[in-house]
Structure 1
Amino acid sequence: MLDELRQAARRAGNERAVRKLLADCNSLLSERGEANSVAIAASLVERLEALPEEQEKGFFDSLARDFSPDPLAVLTAAQAYAANPNAQSQMALTQVAEPVRQELFRRINRAPGGTAALLRLRRALLGRFRAQKDLRAVEADLFHLLSSWFNPGFLQMRKVDWNSPARLLEKVIHHEAVHEVDGWDDLRRRLEPDRRLFAFFHPQLPDEPLIFVEVALLPEMPAAIAPLINKTSKAQPITDSKVAAFYSISNCEPGLRGVSLGNFLIKRVAEHLNSELPQIKTYCTLSPIPGFAAWLARKPQLDQLPGLKRGAGETLLAARQRLEEIAGPELSALNTATGVDKLDKDGEAALLALCAAYLLYVTPTSDGDPVARFHLDNGARLERLNPRGNMSRNGIKQSHGLMVNYLYDLNRIETSHEKFVQGEVVHSRAVASLI
């Protein structure tokens, strides 16, 4: 009984807190609120940053229900525009069709700390998205505004080095999402002269990296990740460097999920390095293929892949059969480093053929590899597949040890992007020869 009373009191307290929060939101939007908007917005920012999880649902439900456009007003304005499609009726329709919560978010964003509070709000929304589909419109409004506010034209690219603030370096270690940083010695090696690390920052969040990319300056295109992240390796003279290899890119802010930042960062880094180190002529990646092993395990109809060239289906079916003879019907032996190492020449060729087909023909579809889609949509070329490129546990699990190089030809980026949008993966002869 006592527990029930406590729970009821807690619910009542949460409901009162949400009502007060919503009342302040309405005050911020009111004419009277304009005079005190700074103080009201600052108070809202503080409370949104500390909004308890048990109060989120009520707040989000109200944003979806009470801060949406008036259907009758939208209908009336739409009919007026249809009857007389001039500038005035168009602006009237736009005004009533825009959810009032967008203006609420804009006013919150003007307050100190407002941008961070809204990012926190979208993080919470994304966590509830699947369970509460009615929040889709609220999330779409925040995504729309954040995409504008975090336009790369507003972002600052900064080089991160060993002399950067310790707090920033700690965030790099924490947010590295591709190749885990093994302590300070590892990070220091990644920041030596033959390495580069660049990050995007927003003026409203000057100490918070939004996304960063790690680059290795090398004599030739790399085929394996282990030498690049070996913290005991010695730095090489950058005068010997002919290749800039992007080997890791990490997003730091979950609230910006879906907001395109990485493609602009890679292009800006390439432009910067082209100016700093004119001897570098090749810009490429050494990338994982996180979706390949899972796709192969689903036993796709290899001879039915979209866009498959004549005769390639038989080649792929034979490759699958050869791998099954070596690794078993479920290819279970390829889920261990020992099994991958035991592949003979024919087995390795079969694995490369199947991966080439995955990247060439599946990437343009909704089932495509996310990393491949990112780079190809960004205008890169599928350049080379590398057996045993990543023999870590994660590399074996994701792609049976394979890694891939994507080539960024700065003079052909736009052309390659357009072809990918039309469903074509621009690729090298070396990749074509694998099938």
Structure 2
Amino acid sequence: MIFIKFHLRVLGITRNNKFISKCIINNSKFLCCQKTSTPYETETCLRKQLEEVFKFKNTNVSNWIIENKARALCIEYYKSQKMDRQQFLQLLAAKYAVQHDDICNIAKKLLCTESNNKRLIISYEQKLKSILTSDYQWLFLIIGRLESGVKFLVDLRTDIMELMVETKETDENIVIQQLNMTLQDLLLLWFSVGFLHLERITWQSACDILQKISDYEAIHPIKNWLDLKQRVGPYRRCYVFTHPSMPREPLVVLHTALCDIIPDSVKGIEDAKTRILGDKRKEITFQEEDKSKIKAAIFYSITSTQKGLKGIELGNYLIKEVANKVISEFPMIRELSTLSPIPNFRSWLLEKLKQDVNYIFTADECKSMQNILKEENVALGLKKIFNNSLWTNEKELCEMLREPLIRVCAWYLYKEKRRNYALNNVANFHLRNGAVMWRINWLADPSPRGVANSCGIMINYRYYLHESEKNSQNYIENYFINASEDIINIAMRQNELRSKM
């Protein structure tokens, strides 16, 4: 670990500890003194506390009393185990949803009302509006007013989405989906970009924030404290979005490298810094950065940290805000680009090889692969060597694989679709954000993670800010993928191979 873990972990207090007696959420204390309980007792306690909260709905009782009941419910939920939580969510989704019979009755009365009876029409409309609002939406609004209540709801939605995946029964799944949609709509409202705060992270930032930046990094794991210090130091920029209700919790983290050119590999980012620094070996400060040499800003890692905010677009706004920030700070920047991973490409490739090796290789390439692998079955041979990253050290094999894998990767990114959008989720994210597929880079990330994801291949997505809105609209509305001529030509070569099958 780079720093001593937050005091919750030191005390042995975790979100899943059923014996918890002091619940601390993001430095805010929800206190309860409870005896340890069995799973059955916990589930019963959750049910009772839920009933206690709803007992005060539509009453004139002070909000302070209702909020205290809601706080106790949150504490009990955090204490409980997975099975108890899921039973609680199933109860919430079924019992406290909108009542369809009531809706139908009011709707019939409204339809039967004379059009000139405005008073009665408005009365029925108000009743209809009220009963179309589920009871659990009222509960979410109460919890959202609590200190750290918004964070609780974000975590709650994580559990709801997990339950949706695990629920096979159709009718039950539908009510869970409705619960999810109701909470998502509230979070969409609360986490609109106008409420978010853009914050730059440096080595002088708070210790717990730096720890979270390290823990959340999902693309290029941070090795040690020196690595972290470099990523938030000179010629780098690290920005996060935070929310007033979750002030010490980064929602999205964007790492940016300031370079002289657009690098074609992870190592290329370091090489750019070396070229810019020249003979300087001493540690420099932000004030000593040579702005005249910064021509490109590279977004090399973007991470959404909260699973409960899935489907709420935050990363796209962060990229554009950071782009404007770095351009205003470094006026010589002319190029904005990502250096992005291609997750799941290797899995897709192995599946295609299993189906038909001729989908990937020409006849001549197959023969060459057989000779190099010393294996008649090329698909089986590649599956074996792709189990680890050691093959990247074999020069002859790498040279042989380079052209066919770049060719099929271009096809995968440019042509493979899901619901008419790019199949690859990272590609879909940047294309929706208005970027252009620009360059595919061979063995750009030869780390075990990079090889496991995409055989080490990475891609640059270019951002032309004056065109991004038009590109985004064209992709979302017309499914048009904006790509460089080079990528299109490479993908078409793969298309020619497919047509000969």
2:154 maps to amino acid: L
**2:102 paired with 1:49:** no
- Cα 1:59–1:320 change in 2 (3 A) is farther
TM-score by length of structure 2 reads 0.76
Do the aligned residues in 2 keep the contact of 1:194 with 1:238 (CA within 8 Å)?
A: no
- Cα 1:360–1:297 change in 2 (3 A) is same
2:60 to 6, 10, 32: 32
Do the aligned residues in 1 keep the contact of 2:413 with 2:422 (CA within 8 Å)?
A: no
Paired residue for 2:138?
103
Do the aligned residues in 2 keep the contact of 1:63 with 1:101 (CA within 8 Å)?
A: yes
Paired residue for 1:239?
292
2:46 to 18, 26, 38: 18
Write the distance in 2 (CA, Å) between the matches of 1:51 and 1:28: 24
Paired residue for 1:6?
none
1:114 to 149, 153, 159: 149
Q: What is the RMSD computed on CA atoms of the aligned residues?
A: 2.9
Paired residue for 2:316?
263
Paired residue for 1:282?
335
The more displaced of 117-126 and 243-252 is: 117-126
**2:480 paired with 1:424:** yes
Aligned residues: 415
Alignment gaps of 5+ in structure 2:
1-36, 168-172, 278-289, 494-501
Do the aligned residues in 2 keep the contact of 1:209 with 1:252 (CA within 8 Å)?
A: yes
Paired residue for 2:103?
74
SS of the residue 2:440 aligns to: strand
SS of the residue 2:240 aligns to: strand
Paired residue for 1:351?
405
**2:251 paired with 1:223:** no
- Cα 1:74–1:342 change in 2 (3 A) is farther
- Cα 1:267–1:324 change in 2 (3 A) is farther
Paired residue for 1:146?
187
Paired residue for 1:306?
none
- Cα 1:293–1:69 change in 2 (3 A) is same
Paired residue for 1:378?
433
Do the aligned residues in 2 keep the contact of 1:364 with 1:425 (CA within 8 Å)?
A: no
- Cα offset, 1:233, TM superposition: 6.3
Deviation digits for residues 227-256 of structure 1, max 9, x if unmatched? 4369x9697434311000000011222222
1:430 maps to amino acid: D
TM-score by length of structure 1 reads 0.86
2:456 to 391, 401, 410: 401
SS of the residue 2:48 aligns to: helix
1:170 maps to amino acid: Q
Paired residue for 2:326?
273
Paired residue for 2:15?
none
Write the distance in 2 (CA, Å) between the matches of 1:242 and 1:120: 41
- Cα offset, 1:197, TM superposition: 0.2
Paired residue for 1:309?
none
- Cα offset, 1:136, TM superposition: 2.1
Paired residue for 1:4?
none
- Cα 1:302–1:41 change in 2 (3 A) is same
The more displaced of 140-149 and 359-368 is: 359-368
Deviation digits for residues 62-93 of structure 1, max 9, x if unmatched? 21111111111211334456667998465543
Deviation digits for residues 357-387 of structure 1, max 9, x if unmatched? 1111114546711111111111100000001
Paired residue for 1:342?
396
Deviation digits for residues 294-336 of structure 1, max 9, x if unmatched? 1121218999xxxxxxxxxx9x765587267426234334555
**2:207 paired with 1:172:** no
SS of the residue 2:157 aligns to: helix
- Cα offset, 1:58, TM superposition: 2.9
- Cα offset, 1:120, TM superposition: 2.2
Paired residue for 2:415?
361
2:190 maps to amino acid: W
